Structure 1
């Protein structure tokens, strides 16, 4: 084995890295268990607020010491293997930023008939097109008014410097494009800030490429209505006057006096309780109850339970960290106020980030509110500021500033976001980054009044009640053009310019896709995923040992390494593990042994020829390499296409599949060889076996004429496919899922079984006769309700209307306690995009595989046979979805269905390429042979490998079908049909078509090969 030392070293390094990154997940689970123990009362009930409060308190604390390197809980969370929404529960949302309002605003709400008509036509076309809205708008305007000039509509003061009266239509569209993209970026930044403030653990927000959409995943969220309002609310930009420190500090002095008095009263109460206790326990209890201590923060009596909780919290925290160094309410401070604001003596009203909730509670107290003037309100800065240890006398921490805002008489901001006409990042005369801001006429007048009254004072720039900046006014600004300078970086100046522009132009968002998964459903998915994984692993491990003896043991060790590497690398990249991802990993178990099957079959062939065990191993690995490489590349192509064109859980499946292919190749080709060479070293060489009594002579000298029955196979396949599609037509078309046809879907659980047909009848009236499908989902007491009612309306109001209609229709079953476990929504436009993307993904996979096979085998007939077999498999699976409905197997065609089709394509071409490789080898060894003379020998030579690989994958798919849960049942059913069809098409479709189309009279050309050693001699077996 070449580079043995390098491969061994690489294996050790990868193993160590995987163990290192997986350790973060174990530490994170330990901290979460501690939080749950702290939040659990005597009756075993978990207080969720207390649990999250504990986790927040240790967020910045070291919880893991690895070789002297300390990691905080926040760092641990960022490095652990996270769970997807389908396993953890939560909310998945895809938002689309509407460009219509942006374009209208840029046009100054023009009433030009051609302009309005073009917008209307573009909106209609967008429902059936994946083109950008601005492109559709330009096309529509050109058709409606061929001689029209967009500059006449868009050349106004708001667009000064970008569009003038002489601008061409192309220049105007380019300017609109820039503005729309900027609006999407601003919406993204605003949403990101809102989500950060929402308090969700490990949220995920990303802008989807080549679209106007933003994808958001919020684990653990249950209040969908609140999230919708949070995400779809318009940005509120305001400019406020700020109180000077010397103006509001006297009020803080009054607050401090109140807190000091309460502290003294608490100490006195504690002292009296102690003296009384010395006299009589009964009297002590009575007086302690009569004179409770007052919490200085909330102003409420301290209860026994609260004291107990505090003691418990301190006990748990002290076990984890040195709280005397980090607790911002440490006992050595002089008063409650200085404990909350440790930098107060330096003139800074800044609090530790973890103490903001305590400060808010303090400022909400009625007696505290009475201290401050009616026109004073407090707002936090949007971001904390890390301060060095020298400033706070503690470890480095994050502090956040609290601003005292001066309200007007009507409680409205002096200047609002609608006053902004433009904002951009620029540089001052010294080359330092600054922000230039312009205002419209009305805004400029208000800005002049505000700046005139605020010379030498700060003006706070506030978005959604958070202060983003508070520059000091240097002088009155009469014309609305201002420059904001400070210690900005270029990025910070650009961010501030975007914030200012966020209030300038409306960029409304609408939810075009939504999915909600309840936590109970997520836990159920975890259990199903683990069960199916363990069962599949057990079946594959036992079967490999049963068939290949000690060789099977080697393959099983490689399989364990493979799974360990997959999970470890997913953790290294902080990827989320989803249920389809687990399915991909389970499927990888079956497919990963394929390479070892190829190698072992080659080794068995060499041993049958009398070659020594070491030479047989050497030749087996060398001669199987080309087949393994080609088959993995073709499967990888399907995975790459699935990744780029899939979304959500499907993308998670693609990631796991691609990663599994890479790790399978490494473990099967290199790790297993290291193990084999160790097991055959020295005197152990003769004890190595690759067969059992059962498998030793199985498929030996097998000679079947596959080609003879090819025409019968052509007819049979065509008949089954036609039957399936006729049935589909009779059944009213394909059973499309919500993500392909649009609409809303709900998973409803009942305490007792409910007939699906009865529920459908009860819901038809509430859904106004719209298309409604109700079917049992797994257990008999669980139903999946899918409806097209208000499918075209993607507003929040429509969401609430449909859910209300569902709940009203289910009222007659209230005795059975109906409960919505999860829901999903896909807008009509989004569904159309998903459908087209799915078709494109399948077509691209066909094209990619056609080109690769032609490149590797140098003849287009190889590609044609392979791709026709793949089309056959895809059509066969589709046909059996219709045939299955006759037997109650009513599965939807959705994105997961497309994932199964692409996986089947990868599996099927894998089989075909292995046979092609054997045909190529026979032609290389026997140049004078015709291809029809070597096809049957090649098929028979590889039959053992074909059957064993198909069986291992089939075992795994059956396990998924039985134990994987209803969510994966449609996927498992498609894979079940696909594995059988793929094996059949390799034998009876791909190679026969190769034979029927190739010209045997031409000399045979040997393809290029990856392996450095290819057999040049050998026997032609029949």
Structure 2
């Protein structure tokens, strides 16, 4: 090996750099452990501890360079949510809302129909904006222009759009404006997250899709975070109507509703007037809440109102009240001087129901003084600062400071309220947080305060949101994943165990089979792991459970290059060459090197496609796999050879085997091509049965990644009956809820499509509340928060929750199809270029197609019966692509030997040359396959339930991939080779022999 000194230098340098990079991870991990010990479960204390160290020196490199905790944490390998616990969401900024805003809420029929059609007709990866332009063109048919004054050529857009512009010109401006809105939303969310209080949050824009990824490792309060992210922060100040001003309308509406609402004759004798009078007089004894009759509105008031509060309504009845007030016949009863009234709810509150004497969640009903433009007299745009504080009674509140213009308007509003003894409602995103009266005259200076039923955390979040500013459009959570801390701990343990066991198996097998050369391969393997983690640290990569699987899988593939070289060296030694000659030939281009390069290029191509089309943890798997391929090549080819060359120089006896394994897998003369009819028949039968099962009988168990929905991984205190839980939840949700045992008998995986098209935080919380309502009885001493967030001493409750919206599931499915097809196509093209004959590519693709159908068939036939989940999801697609890469890898090794033998190294008939090629590489094929199977089996047994289905797919794929490379790829090559070319090869070989 030339330039050994240079290679040693770079290897040592690379090792030192890797150790340097990893040192930050060790230091940061130690500090994080100290923070956890200090906080004793209090997340805010933990964050405060780390923030105190942010700018303090925590690490010094030989006294030369000092690093703060901020420096150290920025350079460490971060743990993903599946290891750390926390929340991951993908937010979709509503482009529809942006367009409506740019159009100044246009009433144009063509424009508004295009907005609706865009949502309904959006295809695959098509953006909403492109779908809108397409729908507008179809609906306008050239009769209406985007630059129309009633659409985008309005006064707000006058500086950029005028009525003379063409639609194409307007589209460019609109695209720019939408991009600016997404960027603005990104900055607003970033500011909110920075102040939220979690260590190492991550926020990133996902291409040009208008989607924003937010990761909050270690975060626990699910409902709080979703509310923080989705709040548009549209702060408004409204004058309100008092209850005595709206009393006549409420009474008239109640009377009108009697005719359409069911009620007995006795109930219809109720006296509404007395009830209303009691409410106005605040007489609880005779309040509306105590009167039971056919009073559609008043019977739903669980507590009396007063001042600006019309009544207090239980959460279950708010939708009904909303429906009442939206009815045209009821709206017609509103007095003419109040026709612009706006009914809104206050923030949720838990009070005692005066009827049932039980505590329940309620909302206060308010009537705001609206106007024809539906615009608040004063908006949050005037707020220049907001701080969480305490009011005069010592209760948590939010103090706000306005600018000059806002101060003037605020003084006018408060002065009017003082004169009329009225109230001013402070509303955020159409929710009234407080509605104070003004008792001491107009308020000058622009200082205002939001008080009410808050805790300290709520006021901190509210002040944070107000300081960050409002979102330019609604942000809808279209995909989310919540991982409880206890599940993260379990995942780390499972990943650690599988890694150690996998490493030991590879380590021991290499020593057992190859003797001293196996030790050299193991040293290269250790160096490879050091390089791999060093690169991950330098890239600031996030380590996930699939990422750990990728590392463990790297252990199996890392020694593959060594196996190819060692097997070739043994062949050369058996042919009578010296050790020096055998080593030189094995490491040469005409020896093992060409096969190694071809095999790894195919693996890199499939890994790259996996990275491009995958998201989140799947990208983590692809990242470690790709890095592992390159580090493995370097260490296998150069590091191990340093020791081998030393043996050659010292005339040591190196046989690349042990006395026991010396003749293993040698001397094979099996006629693989001769039995092709039987293998064709067997494989055809498997493919047919698989396709029938997939398309006509069982189908595939498609996970929420592909069809959309919500899943919950729930751990109970003791084993439960899945059927019973499923029935109870289905009854509560009003739609099917699937329940499957997930790992242990006390753990279920629940799946439902309940309201999956509704993206609001309120719906997410509603789903969580329903879940707790049904499942709470299976626990002792656990409340809603501890159940949903699983941060309780027993580590039970919802360990993991995920939601995939219909739009993003369609994108995932489309990307997955293209990933699989693209992998086969790209690798097929590479083989055509490399081997310069399409028959090689066809043979490899036929084998891969066979493998993919085989794995799909196993999953279709077995998902109903296996004790672990076998869903079609992103992890499954990652497994399929890995199988494609491995199968191609295995096939290329055989094809390279065929090409070598056809070049003149083997004489005889074409069929004999192919058989000889397979037999001569059989030792490598079986060795590598055995290594992979051992590693995958280790991960399957110890890697944790969440990746068991993913690993099983790869395990089946490796086994069938080994079979197809021997019994499908080469026979197809033989059968498709041009007969005249085969005859020419055989004639040439025969002439050379003569």
The TM tier, using the shorter chain, reads: 0.7 to 0.9
| Alpha-carbon distance in 2 for matches of 1:557, 1:405 | 72
**Any conservation in 2 of the 1:775–1:785 contact (CA below 8 Å)?**
yes
**Any idea what SS the aligned residue of 2:670 has?**
coil
Q: Does 1:839 align with 2:790?
A: no
Q: Does 1:111 align with 2:107?
A: yes
Q: Call closer, same or farther: CA 1:61–1:411 in 2, change over 3 Å.
A: farther
* Equivalent in the alignment of 2:78: 82
* Equivalent in the alignment of 2:959: 980
**Any conservation in 1 of the 2:607–2:881 contact (CA below 8 Å)?**
yes
- State the number of aligned residues: 780
* Equivalent in the alignment of 1:489: none
* Equivalent in the alignment of 2:178: 180
The Cα of 1:936 is off from its aligned counterpart by 0.4
* Equivalent in the alignment of 1:191: 189
**Superposed counterparts of 1:786-825, under 5 Å:** 786-814=751-779, 819-825=797-803
The Cα of 1:55 is off from its aligned counterpart by 2.1
| Residue of structure 1 aligned with 2:617, choices 649, 652, 667 | 649
Q: Call closer, same or farther: CA 1:992–1:189 in 2, change over 3 Å.
A: same
**Any conservation in 1 of the 2:228–2:465 contact (CA below 8 Å)?**
no
* Equivalent in the alignment of 2:744: 779
**Any conservation in 1 of the 2:605–2:827 contact (CA below 8 Å)?**
yes
**Any conservation in 2 of the 1:881–1:891 contact (CA below 8 Å)?**
yes
Question: Over the residues paired in the alignment, what is the CA RMSD in angstroms?
Answer: 3.3
**Any conservation in 2 of the 1:858–1:1005 contact (CA below 8 Å)?**
no
Q: Does 1:877 align with 2:855?
A: yes
The Cα of 1:731 is off from its aligned counterpart by 5.4
**Any conservation in 1 of the 2:863–2:871 contact (CA below 8 Å)?**
no
* 1:380-438 superposed Cα distances (whole Å, 9 cap, x missing partner): x9xxxxxxxxxxxxxxxxxxxxxx99994379999xxxxxxxxxxxxxxxxxxxxxxxx
* 1:294-314 superposed Cα distances (whole Å, 9 cap, x missing partner): xxxxxxxxxxxxxxxxxxxxx
**Any idea what SS the aligned residue of 1:852 has?**
helix
The Cα of 1:129 is off from its aligned counterpart by 2.7
| Residue of structure 2 aligned with 1:159, choices 157, 160, 167 | 157
* Equivalent in the alignment of 1:958: 937
**Any conservation in 2 of the 1:237–1:464 contact (CA below 8 Å)?**
no
| Alpha-carbon distance in 2 for matches of 1:31, 1:525 | 21
* Equivalent in the alignment of 2:711: 745
* Equivalent in the alignment of 2:31: 31
| Alpha-carbon distance in 1 for matches of 2:126, 2:922 | 48
| Alpha-carbon distance in 1 for matches of 2:781, 2:553 | 38
- Deviates most, 158-167 or 936-945: 158-167
* Equivalent in the alignment of 2:532: 566
| Residue of structure 1 aligned with 2:59, choices 56, 60, 64 | 64
Which consecutive residues of structure 1, in runs of 5 or more, have no partner in the other structure? 40-44, 240-358, 382-403, 415-448, 452-462, 470-498, 1007-1015
The Cα of 1:48 is off from its aligned counterpart by 4.4
| Alpha-carbon distance in 1 for matches of 2:523, 2:711 | 43
The Cα of 1:209 is off from its aligned counterpart by 1.0
| Alpha-carbon distance in 2 for matches of 1:640, 1:1004 | 40
The Cα of 1:952 is off from its aligned counterpart by 0.0
| Residue of structure 2 aligned with 1:913, choices 892, 910, 913 | 892
The Cα of 1:525 is off from its aligned counterpart by 0.1
* Equivalent in the alignment of 1:948: 927
| Residue of structure 2 aligned with 1:733, choices 693, 699, 709 | 699
**Any conservation in 1 of the 2:93–2:474 contact (CA below 8 Å)?**
yes
The Cα of 1:70 is off from its aligned counterpart by 0.5
| Alpha-carbon distance in 2 for matches of 1:638, 1:218 | 30
* 1:825-882 superposed Cα distances (whole Å, 9 cap, x missing partner): 0001110110001001111111110111111000111111111111111111110012
**Any conservation in 2 of the 1:238–1:413 contact (CA below 8 Å)?**
no
Q: Call closer, same or farther: CA 1:763–1:964 in 2, change over 3 Å.
A: same
Q: Call closer, same or farther: CA 1:641–1:927 in 2, change over 3 Å.
A: same
- Deviates most, 815-824 or 144-153: 815-824
| Alpha-carbon distance in 2 for matches of 1:61, 1:686 | 55
| Alpha-carbon distance in 2 for matches of 1:810, 1:728 | 35
**Any conservation in 2 of the 1:751–1:816 contact (CA below 8 Å)?**
no
**Any idea what SS the aligned residue of 2:532 has?**
helix
Which consecutive residues of structure 2, in runs of 5 or more, have no partner in the other structure? 238-385, 417-443, 447-460, 783-795
| Residue of structure 1 aligned with 2:657, choices 668, 691, 695 | 691
| Alpha-carbon distance in 2 for matches of 1:160, 1:450 | 34
| Alpha-carbon distance in 1 for matches of 2:918, 2:96 | 60
| Alpha-carbon distance in 1 for matches of 2:756, 2:638 | 53
Q: Does 1:937 align with 2:933?
A: no
Q: Call closer, same or farther: CA 1:413–1:938 in 2, change over 3 Å.
A: farther
* Equivalent in the alignment of 2:629: 661
* Equivalent in the alignment of 2:13: 13
**Any idea what SS the aligned residue of 2:745 has?**
strand
* Equivalent in the alignment of 2:429: none
| Alpha-carbon distance in 2 for matches of 1:839, 1:874 | 12
| Alpha-carbon distance in 1 for matches of 2:515, 2:2 | 26
The Cα of 1:166 is off from its aligned counterpart by 1.4
| Alpha-carbon distance in 2 for matches of 1:376, 1:787 | 42
* Equivalent in the alignment of 1:202: 200
Q: Does 1:607 align with 2:573?
A: yes
| Alpha-carbon distance in 2 for matches of 1:655, 1:46 | 33
**Any idea what SS the aligned residue of 2:104 has?**
coil
| Residue of structure 2 aligned with 1:100, choices 76, 84, 96 | 96
| Alpha-carbon distance in 1 for matches of 2:60, 2:989 | 59
| Alpha-carbon distance in 1 for matches of 2:465, 2:780 | 51
**Any idea what SS the aligned residue of 2:482 has?**
strand
* Equivalent in the alignment of 1:676: 644
**Superposed counterparts of 1:469-618, under 5 Å:** 506-618=472-584
**Any conservation in 2 of the 1:377–1:406 contact (CA below 8 Å)?**
no
**Any conservation in 1 of the 2:719–2:747 contact (CA below 8 Å)?**
yes
**Any idea what SS the aligned residue of 2:710 has?**
strand
| Alpha-carbon distance in 2 for matches of 1:870, 1:410 | 75
| Alpha-carbon distance in 2 for matches of 1:202, 1:911 | 41
| Alpha-carbon distance in 1 for matches of 2:415, 2:682 | 77
| Alpha-carbon distance in 1 for matches of 2:413, 2:895 | 79
* Equivalent in the alignment of 1:718: 684
The Cα of 1:805 is off from its aligned counterpart by 2.2
* Equivalent in the alignment of 1:266: none
* 1:366-387 superposed Cα distances (whole Å, 9 cap, x missing partner): 6999xxxx999679x9xxxxxx
- Deviates most, 821-830 or 692-701: 692-701
* 1:670-708 superposed Cα distances (whole Å, 9 cap, x missing partner): 1111122234432xx323231112221122221000111
**Any idea what SS the aligned residue of 2:684 has?**
helix
TM-score (norm 1): 0.72
TM-score (norm 2): 0.74
| Residue of structure 2 aligned with 1:923, choices 890, 899, 902 | 902
